[in-house]
Amino acid sequence: MKRIYGVAQTPLARVLASAEVTPQTKRRLEQKKSQLNPFALKQEVDRSLTFWHNESHSRVTVAFGTQRTKGVD
């Protein structure tokens, strides 16, 4: 037995091909896609990943007795 798959499609292409989605929604999604810049999105994701990687791997040093907490004597 051999499986036969359809042509690969992106999620957006599947939505646009669907009869269940209104034309207004399809136009809105196509407009949103035309406004996206994949290179800028990648840079933003890379910056965020680098930031969170650095945050999760940095050491925090706490010096006891150097700061007073407000309201604590």
Domain boundaries, the chain: 11-56
59 pLDDT band (50/70/90 cuts)? confident
End-to-end CA distance of the chain: 78
Q: Per-residue pLDDT tens for 32-51?
A: 999 999 999 999 999 999 99
Closest among 10, 16, 11, 14 to 30, alpha carbons compared:
16
Q: In whole angstroms, what is the distance from residue 69 CA to residue 32 CA?
A: 49
**Structure tokens of 9?**
């499609």
Q: In whole angstroms, what is the distance from residue 20 CA to residue 13 CA?
A: 13
